[in-house]
Amino acid sequence: MTQKTVPQKSVRHAMIKDILAHEVIETQDDLANALRERHVEVTQATVSRDIKELMLIKIPIGDGRYRYGAPMKESVIFTRERVRRLFQDTVTDVNDSENIIVVKTLPGGANTVASVLDHASWDEVIGTVAGDDTILLVVKPKEAAKDVVRRIEELMQDEGEAELARGKSAGN
């Protein structure tokens, strides 16, 4: 029987990049299974964390299906224009309760949007958890939740709508 190993994160990340270059990986389970086939024992939480750390994105492959892929350039991924387009195309709803914000996305979009939110480095956001189409943001202090929701809603609007909304909130 072959021994299962838990390689260092950098080795596992290199394996994931190689897997994505040679196989169509549609789900976290697919990725976990591909790693296990290479004798790497991983949990769903580890795979989810690796996806976030590698900033993997969902790429449409037709018939409403998506696969994981690596971004070409980090600087291209997080331009304001690209972030705004991602939120307009992917985020369907945002709501809050106390210090929790729930962001709903199209199926398969939550990891990409959560990654952008993580890299936004908003001081009030102390963490995100992403599923397939839902993201939970934990905000501290809870009074900041409304402001974070407002920023997300602005990203969901086109530039003209966002300027109009800012003008109305300023009392113009």
Q: What is the pLDDT of residue 146?
A: 95
Q: Give pTM, 2 decimals.
A: 0.54
Q: Is the pLDDT of residue 4 over 70?
A: no
Buried b (16+ CB within 10 A) or exposed e, 152-166: bbbbbbeeeeeeeee
- For residues 110 and 166, the model is more confident at 110
- For residues 71 and 145, the model is more confident at 145
Cβ pair 140, 99 in contact under 8 A: yes
- For residues 111 and 91, the model is more confident at 91
**φ/ψ (deg, to 5) at 121:** 55, 45
- For residues 119 and 90, the model is more confident at 90
Tokens in use for 168? 């109305």
Distance of alpha carbon 17 from alpha carbon 20, whole angstroms? 5
Distance of alpha carbon 129 from alpha carbon 49, whole angstroms? 10
pLDDT of 153-162, one tens digit each?
Answer: 999 987 655 5
- How far apart, in Å, are the Cα atoms of 76 and each of 8, 31, 81, 141? 28, 25, 10, 32
